[in-house]
Amino acid sequence: MVSNNKNNNIRVNVSSEIGRLRAVLLHRPGVEIERMTPSNATEALYSDILNKRIVDEEYRHFSGVFERVAKVFYVQDVLEQLLDDQTVRYEIVSKSCKNELAEYLVDELMQHDSRTLAAELIEGFAYRKGKDPDRYAARRYVLRPLYNLFFTRDASSSVFDRVLVNSMSFDVRMRENIIYEAIFEHFFGCETLNAQRWNNNARTEGGDVHIGRRDLLCIGEGIRTNADGIRYLVENFKNGRQNADGETDGRFNIIVQQLPHTPESFIHLDMVYTFLDRNRCMMYEPMLHKTGEFAGKATTWIEMDHGTVRYHDCANILEALKCVGMEMEPVFCGGSDEWMQQREQWHSGANFFSLAPGKVIGYRRNSHTIDAMDKAGFAVLKAEEVAAGKVSIDDYERCVVTFAASELPRGGGGARCMTMPICRDEAF
């Protein structure tokens, strides 16, 4: 049951990757990231542990840009508000405890004030010797910290006027689904989709779900999003969807790009491909030419017309986009040198987030990628100056806002991974 929208000014509406951003959901990395150790980093899906002091400074400039250009909602603040409602509180607490086999904690957590409980649900509930079952002692937490929560894109995806609550592939992230489902149903009053309700084996994650335009999704199929998850999306859109005038077109397209399962830097489509403008994209060149790790990886255009579904093999993702009327000019992650391409893709060099058509944000450290964007006509701006109001993205036709980051990339994601758009203007 979807409750009344607690934020009446904002409705979920995202019909492209590039429309002018109006509202976004972020999460400031908190003490949960300090609760990683070398022994649990792998379980937490990290290859290294992070220095929070440096993360705080990097994230301050990143979030400061968004606070200049859009309405920003922070997960912990929204969750705290939701927990004031006893019905929603019980739903979140009971599901969270059941997921961690700790139902005995429900009554105790229900008595905590909303601020304390929001922190416990995000930062973890520590094991208490002599009070909690000994089975939790080794991992130190009864409710594990949500180490990955600042990657707000992974567990949820705005898909037009609904939100796909993604079916996460790893248990350590399951509570994120519970929190996001509550946020979108009870705070934004939005209908949610969930592939696991349709098929328990179905998996989707937000880094693999890209909205090309109102009749097009681009999906990565790899270690996080599987074929059953894609079939779920086909089922949802095979009869089309409403167009901008509120009329049902009956036609829809999904482009599927297969991804390598290794190395770990290829976990999502947005690690090798992102939209930059109406006719520009960022991509990892081996994906275009099907070389290296992408040799033999298929690109499929799924054409849907009033319930009829047709599958077409395509040479690559750019060719598939051309088939549906979107001719994209690529800018290459890492520039033209294959060694630099590999180095910068590893630290999310292809992972950009669009603030408006032709205006994007990404990591400054990927200097060859930024140089390639500069040559492609994107003015290079500093996040510190945009966040301070010294520079405005509105003064440029195309620009890339760069923010310094050495610790954030160690988490295995970039600007798109750390942002969940709630509302965008129409771009097409």
What pLDDT digit, counting tens, does each position of 167-201 carry? 776 677 889 999 999 999 999 999 999 988 899 89
DSSP 367-379: HHHHHHHHHTTPE
Coil, strand or helix at 184: helix
Q: Which helix (H) or strand (E) holds 123?
A: helix 114-123
* Four-point Cα dihedral 384, 284, 420, 114, nearest 10: -80
Instruction: Determine phi and psi for 22, rounding to 5 degrees.
Output: -115, -30
Instruction: Determine phi and psi for 321, rounding to 5 degrees.
Output: -65, -40
pLDDT tens-digit map of 222-242: 999 999 999 999 999 999 987
Three-state SS string across 29-50, please?
CCHHHHHCCCCCCCCCCCCCCC
DSSP 39-91: TTTTTTT-SS---HHHHHHHHHHHHHHHHHHSEEEEHHHHHHHHTTSHHHHHH
Residue for token pair 């009971």: 94
Neighbours of 311 (CB within 10 A): 11
Contact 407, 51 (CB under 8 A): yes
Q: Per-residue pLDDT averaged across 280-301, rounded?
A: 96
Q: Per-residue pLDDT averaged across 7-33, rounded?
A: 93
Contact 399, 380 (CB under 8 A): yes
Cα–Cα distance, 189 to 82 (Å, whole number):
12
The overall pTM is greater than 0.75: yes
Coil, strand or helix at 346: helix
Q: Per-residue pLDDT averaged across 3-22, rounded?
A: 83
Cα–Cα distance, 199 to 193 (Å, whole number):
12
Predicted local confidence at residue 207, as pLDDT: 96
Q: In Å, what is the CA distance from 398 to each residue of 91, 285, 356, 377?
A: 45, 22, 9, 7
pLDDT tens-digit map of 131-163: 999 999 988 999 999 999 999 999 999 999 999
Q: Per-residue pLDDT for 410 more than 90?
A: no
Whether residue 263 has a cis bond before it, omega within 30° of 0: yes
Predicted local confidence at residue 2, as pLDDT: 42
Question: What tokens were used for 324?
Answer: 């549906």
* Four-point Cα dihedral 310, 254, 239, 189, nearest 10: 160
Percent of the chain with pLDDT over 70: 94
Question: What tokens were used for 384?
Answer: 């510190």
Mean pLDDT of the chain: 93
Cα–Cα distance, 192 to 60 (Å, whole number):
30
Neighbours of 67 (CB within 10 A): 12
Cα–Cα distance, 47 to 412 (Å, whole number):
8
Q: Per-residue pLDDT for 351 more than 70?
A: yes
SS3 content of the chain, % helix, strand, coil (to 5): 35, 25, 40
Confidence band (pLDDT; 50, 70, 90) for 1? very low
- What the chain holds in terms of domains, given with CATH numbers, is 21-78+146-424 (3.75.10.10)
